[in-house]
């Protein structure tokens, strides 16, 4: 993954709290190159268009724009999604917020309490085109799609159900396993784990399953 990019990841931090931005910057240190910061929806869209970073660390709650928060930033940059990857980073427990930013096109969701190494790993994974699921997000996916996963092989166009393998992967993420541990647990390669997670991300983004929205309204990921 990271071998393709010898240089440091170019990152933009979008968060309306200046203290959090500077704290995050200090925490990431030399691991990434912070090329821009923005506190509002409109400024974020502008900064991202000008600097074209590899990864945007995006807070879910942002002022400005039409009030859509992080999801609106992703939507404004929809044409850039091939080059610019969004990683939602939030303290929010509101499933609606998390799901809206993921469905808008973000590649992952982590909580603000994540450790620095894990965050750097997540930035790398997202930059490489993979999806990053926190245990909480995996728990939410299982809650919304169901844990049965009876179907051994779900066809790709079937967006409302998870295959048995995808359920397994989600369950292990929710149990706190790393991709490497999941791979050895299920006797598959890490690459395959990443593929499964990306597929689940795609289902989460594209599923028209009406229950998903209802779920998101009722639930908070705790």
Which of 25/171 has CB closer to other proteins? 171
Which of 52/219 has CB closer to other proteins? 219
- Phi, psi for residue 68 in degrees, rounded to 5: -85, -5
Among 177, 183, 199, 201, binds other proteins (CB under 8 A): 177
List of residues 6+ apart from 191 with CB closer than 8 A: none
- Any contact of residue 168 with other proteins (CB under 8 A)? no
- Any contact of residue 67 with other proteins (CB under 8 A)? no
Among 2, 17, 27, 148, binds other proteins (CB under 8 A): 148
Q: Which residues pair with 108 in a beta bridge?
A: 87, 132
- Any contact of residue 61 with other proteins (CB under 8 A)? no
Among 160, 171, 190, 195, binds other proteins (CB under 8 A): 171
Which of 42/94 has CB closer to other proteins? 94
Helix (H) or strand (E) holding 85: strand 85-90
119 and 138 Cβ atoms separated by less than 8 Å: no
DSSP string, 122-157: HHHHHHTT--EE-HHHHHHHHHHH-S----SS--TT
Q: How far is the CB of 5 from other proteins (least distance, A)?
A: 28
């Amino acid at each position: 993954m990271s071998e393709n990019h010898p240089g440091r990841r170019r990152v933009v931090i979008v968060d309306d709290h200046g203290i959090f931005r500077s704290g995050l910057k200090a925490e990431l240190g030399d691991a990434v190159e912070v090329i821009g910061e923005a506190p509002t929806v409109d400024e974020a869209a502008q900064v991202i268009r000008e600097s074209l970073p590899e990864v945007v660390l995006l807070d879910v709650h942002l002022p400005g724009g039409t009030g859509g928060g992080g999801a609106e930033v992703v939507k404004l940059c929809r044409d850039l999604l091939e080059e610019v990857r969004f990683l939602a980073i939030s303290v929010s427990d509101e499933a609606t917020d998390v799901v809206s930013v993921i469905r808008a096109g973000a590649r992952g969701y982590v909580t603000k309490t994540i450790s620095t190494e894990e965050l750097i790993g997540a930035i790398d994974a997202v930059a490489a085109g993979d999806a990053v699921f926190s245990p909480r997000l995996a728990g939410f996916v299982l809650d919304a799609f169901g844990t049965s996963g009876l179907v051994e092989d779900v066809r790709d166009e079937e967006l409302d159900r998870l295959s048995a393998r995808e359920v397994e992967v989600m369950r292990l993420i929710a149990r706190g396993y790393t991709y490497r541990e999941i791979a050895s647990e299920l006797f598959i390669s890490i690459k395959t784990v990443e593929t499964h997670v990306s597929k689940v991300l795609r289902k989460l983004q594209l599923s028209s399953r009406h229950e998903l929205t209802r779920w998101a309204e009722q639930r908070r990921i705790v």
